[in-house]
Structure 1
Amino acid sequence: MRKAGACALVAATALLAGSVGLRVTAADPPDRWWQPGEGRVFPTRLDYADPTGVIRVVLDGGPMATQGHPFFTAIGPNGRACVTCHQPADGMSLSAASAARQWERGGPRDSLFAASDGADCPSLPQDARASHSLLIDHGLIRIARPWPPRDLNGKAISPDYKLEVVRDPSGCNLDPKWGLHSADPHISVFRRPRPVANFKYIEAMGFAYDPKAGLPLALDPETGKPVSGNLMADGRVPSLTWQMRDAAGAHLAFARKLDQGDIARILDFERHVYVAQQRDDRGGMLDADGAEGGPEQLRISKPGRLGSQGVPVWSEFAKWEKPDPQARASVSAETLAFRASVARGARIFRDKTFLISDSAGINSPIGFGNPVRNSCVFCHNMSQMGMDVAPGQVDLGTTNRPFADAMPHLPLFRVTCLGKPHPHYGRVILTHDPGYALTTGRCADVGRITLQSMRGLAARAPYFSNGSARDLRGVVDFYDRRYHIGYSEQEKQDLVNLMSAL
């Protein structure tokens, strides 16, 4: 499938394989960052240090030459390629730390900071760091959604809510050229890039219908086939092919449309990339002593189902809970303690129940009950991935007040329902990002976001769609506050250790 010259392969593999002991510092070599058009060879296995250990990228069928490949080549004038915002060292996503490092290295000349979405607003002075603060400090890309919403064919949707700008720190939502009241009205929200990896799981369909809405699965208008609905944060595209077209225009400013050959090559690459944490500084190799962590397991496994229907979520670490005598004798007490913590975290994730309330996509519209008692796996239920096997979006409150923390760097919108009030917020909602409602035009969908994969988390902070959790402890603390769970300090640390090992 993918070929490269033998000499080039040897040299590239030696250069890129990475050192397991390497730590992430500002002085990391430039080969950590993939610039468009470099022409490197993408090896079968690629390791990079991250804050807790080593992230590994596996290319099934690799190595692959990237010279002229449309994922790695800038076709448009802003100098960007897909790889710009989907970096291997960041788990095929983009960390805020990497964005800050690139600003220090190249400033506004780096294509990452293209005015269209790498700036807080295109109208700001592009040479100033402050004009790119949301990307540099929070890892956020500007997403400009048309207002009113449009369907896939570009036809306007009449929303059942009114949208007003309450706060606009970037200036873009009130900008005369780019804002809501411009000649071409758009709303600017700011989101984290989603990982381009593990698509065997992300595209899998665990249901024949959308259980969050009680409706049939959406169909791809081109193929007529059902789609998983788990790709974009706001569900605005049905398939990877549509996502490529959306990104080519919105983020890459491609000078020409992607042709079928380009799309086929990108699809072939994306569907063969697997990413997961491979080694932890305290726990050692995550596929050692009976554990089945790491990306190689993702490559060979089939998409998991609900824990009650198949392999329990995070069962790959079950053997670390009670290690055999040989494992106990071969590793340090610190390693054993960390592994035991990961195994406890997996059990807490599966078994500790709490009351889930006022969350659209769970407590409404079809109604599992409000509140409903369940655990983290109620939504994060796919074995090996921790995403939702059910299609559709959920509102956890990460973007809406009163659950979302104050984030003065983000815009704030007032949504007023014109018909029925929102089932959980009432008629008026304050939100940093209306989410799925920007796709459907429905007030009941405000704040609903597509759940992400949980693999490779350690390499791609910050977390949640709006980057509101600076670290993994922030993720646990949010859920603890939001649903009044009452985690102990030990339980919180166990959950953090679990997530860092994924």
Structure 2
Amino acid sequence: MAWGKARSKRLAAPLAVAASALLLTVSIAANAQYADDWWAPGSGRAFPASADYPNGAGSLRVLLTGGPMETKDHPFFTATGPNGRACVTCHQPADAMSLSAARAQERWDATAGKDPLFAAYDGSNCPALPQADRASHSLLLEHGLFRIQRHWPPRDSAGKPITPDFDLEVVRDPTGCESGAYGPAKGNVSVYRRPRPVANLKYLLAIGFAYDPKQGMPLPLDPESGKPMSGNLMADGRAGTLNAQMRDASATHLEVLKHIDSADMARITDFEGRVFTAQQSDAKGGPLDAGGAEGGPDKLARSQAGQLGSYGHPVWSEFEAWEKPVPGLTPEQAAWRASVARGAKIFRDKTFLISDSAGINSPIGFGNPVRNACVFCHNMSQMGNDVAPGQVDLGTTNQPFADPMPWLPLFRITCKGAAHPHYGKVIYTSDPGYALTTGRCADVGKITLQSLRGLASRAPYFSNGSAKDIRGIIDFYERRYKIGYTEQEKQDLVNLMSAL
């Protein structure tokens, strides 16, 4: 705070000391409430060591290991391109380092649609639409989706064209973006996806297998370091390292015309590697690290990444202590905690038949169908993403399993060679997913599995935002695999996932 020259030195000294003490208290308090939820580029404020953000279920905690960090001139928080965005624009701390549809609506209302968040390139349904109209941004405002422009035909990581083994035709084009300069006729495909969180990255970068068991192939190697890549960073696997992801985001979402330099990438990597997010408290159940449980991001920061959730570390064992009653709780707290503990067991133990899911049942596969539980794919201890790298098709974008989404484009994929192992020669999809990276028909609809932390802060869910709330996730799996959950089991799973 700048003090006027007329201020008395006698008053300024104790006030300065008090201000410093207050800042220290805010930065180190385990349950500090951050006053302003929105981080605008160039705000220059310090990123706290710990801050809690309220959400519909309770509160999220964002933890920065190593203490508070100044953000002035930091490349994650500073706009470097013409659209005025920084990385933080689409990766907000209050939204678990992602962006919720509700937050986008708040920003539209607060700025009359002039926030850099709504940049024409990908913050609108199509750059060719009238940008001042709210309807031109409906996919971001209502479904939390950004436009992702991919090359058609696909290109490899070096920019070399790939000859796909399928044809792609546009069947439905509600945004108009598939018909003009941003569509297949001009060498592009526009698809619409949720922003993935940039937190808990040591888990997303961890490698649990020396090969890709979903393809039966060796892991791809980083061309810069020569090291294997985890495959868990981006929805369609187009960038396998943080450096590649930053280059991609800089050239597209930030519209920076020059390459991001190595020094800036190193500073962003350092910051992202120290950020951990998880739900910290529940409005019904209280603190998630109480009563013997180990919820919250502190456990994530301390734990080893990449461990398969077994051998004494079962997935969501953080809440095992809540299987037994804890003295001193209100009936509501006790009931909610018991529900979370049951949800963890259902997640691990209730099996069902998984069928016609590429990346699980094919190409190498475990049989079709295979009987297992949610933990089969969401198997990494503390985190719930997949220890085994690679992409999976759950049917969230491909018919007949995908929910009706008339607001998204629809493509007809026709395999030129062998038919798809589960869909045949012709596939209808709103997003070809991994196939836009590999050019393979067998990869149509495959998407990198999401991490499960901080869910209560970043609705909607799935890569295409088709589940508006956590119950919508459960309902999709119920329809897709005919699991047979009871209403109580569904609520237990909702409570569990709200606590992550």
Deviation at 1:101, TM superposition (A): 0.4
Deviation at 1:13, TM superposition (A): 6.3
Q: Which amino acid aligns with 2:250?
A: A
Deviation at 1:181, TM superposition (A): 1.0
| Cα distance in 1 between the residues matched to 2:98 and 2:365 | 34
Aligned sequence identity (%): 67
Deviation at 1:363, TM superposition (A): 0.1
| Cα distance in 1 between the residues matched to 2:29 and 2:60 | 10
Deviation at 1:109, TM superposition (A): 1.4
Match of 1:277, SS state, is strand
2:163 maps to 1:158: yes
Partner of 2:7: none
Partner of 2:407: 409
Q: Indicate conservation of the 8 Å contact 2:32/2:51, yes or no.
A: no
Q: Which amino acid aligns with 1:378?
A: F
Provide the aligned C-alpha RMSD in A.
1.8
| Match for residue 279 of structure 1 among 265, 278, 281 | 281
Partner of 1:97: 102
| Cα distance in 2 between the residues matched to 1:452 and 1:162 | 28
Give the TM-score normalised by the residue count of structure 1: 0.94
Give the TM-score normalised by the residue count of structure 2: 0.94
| Cα distance in 1 between the residues matched to 2:23 and 2:52 | 13
| Cα distance in 1 between the residues matched to 2:151 and 2:19 | 45
Deviation at 1:367, TM superposition (A): 1.9
| Cα distance in 2 between the residues matched to 1:481 and 1:440 | 29
Alignment of 1:40-79 (within 5 A): 40-79=45-84
Question: Residues 13, 150 of structure 1: CA spacing in aligned structure 2 closer, same or farther, 3 A cutoff?
Answer: farther
Match of 1:142, SS state, is strand
Question: Residues 247, 336 of structure 1: CA spacing in aligned structure 2 closer, same or farther, 3 A cutoff?
Answer: same
Partner of 2:43: 38
Deviation at 1:266, TM superposition (A): 0.1
Partner of 1:295: 297
2:184 maps to 1:180: yes
Deviation at 1:46, TM superposition (A): 1.1
Q: Which amino acid aligns with 1:497?
A: N
| Cα distance in 2 between the residues matched to 1:94 and 1:7 | 35
Alignment of 1:93-492 (within 5 A): 93-175=98-180, 177-182=181-186, 185-323=187-325, 327-328=326-327, 330-492=328-490
| Cα distance in 2 between the residues matched to 1:158 and 1:412 | 22
| Cα distance in 2 between the residues matched to 1:283 and 1:21 | 19
Q: Indicate conservation of the 8 Å contact 1:20/1:49, yes or no.
A: no
Q: Indicate conservation of the 8 Å contact 1:349/1:377, yes or no.
A: yes
Match of 1:187, SS state, is strand
Question: Residues 155, 10 of structure 1: CA spacing in aligned structure 2 closer, same or farther, 3 A cutoff?
Answer: farther
Q: Indicate conservation of the 8 Å contact 2:96/2:454, yes or no.
A: yes
Q: Indicate conservation of the 8 Å contact 2:144/2:194, yes or no.
A: yes
Q: Indicate conservation of the 8 Å contact 1:20/1:54, yes or no.
A: no
Deviation at 1:62, TM superposition (A): 2.0
Q: Which amino acid aligns with 1:381?
A: N
Q: Indicate conservation of the 8 Å contact 2:28/2:49, yes or no.
A: no
Deviates more, 1:151-160 or 1:254-263: 254-263
| Cα distance in 2 between the residues matched to 1:202 and 1:345 | 24
Q: Indicate conservation of the 8 Å contact 2:210/2:219, yes or no.
A: yes
- Larger gyration radius, structure 1 or structure 2: 2
Match of 1:32, SS state, is coil
1:4-59 per-position Cα deviation (integer Å, ceiling 9, x unaligned)? x999875656678999798xxxxx96x21000000010010011000100000000
Q: Indicate conservation of the 8 Å contact 2:357/2:422, yes or no.
A: yes
1:168-217 per-position Cα deviation (integer Å, ceiling 9, x unaligned)? 11110112x222112xx110000000000001111000000000000000
1:298-325 per-position Cα deviation (integer Å, ceiling 9, x unaligned)? 00111142233451000000010113xx
Q: Indicate conservation of the 8 Å contact 1:217/1:227, yes or no.
A: yes
Match of 1:109, SS state, is coil
Q: Indicate conservation of the 8 Å contact 2:339/2:496, yes or no.
A: yes
Question: Residues 187, 92 of structure 1: CA spacing in aligned structure 2 closer, same or farther, 3 A cutoff?
Answer: same
| Cα distance in 1 between the residues matched to 2:393 and 2:17 | 50
Unaligned runs of 5+ in 1: 23-27
| Cα distance in 1 between the residues matched to 2:458 and 2:135 | 22
Q: Which amino acid aligns with 2:189?
A: I
| Cα distance in 1 between the residues matched to 2:27 and 2:454 | 18
| Cα distance in 2 between the residues matched to 1:8 and 1:303 | 39
Match of 1:343, SS state, is helix
| Match for residue 81 of structure 1 among 79, 86, 92 | 86
- Segments of 4+ moved more than 3 angstroms: 5-22
Q: Indicate conservation of the 8 Å contact 1:8/1:41, yes or no.
A: no
| Cα distance in 2 between the residues matched to 1:453 and 1:131 | 30
| Cα distance in 2 between the residues matched to 1:248 and 1:12 | 33
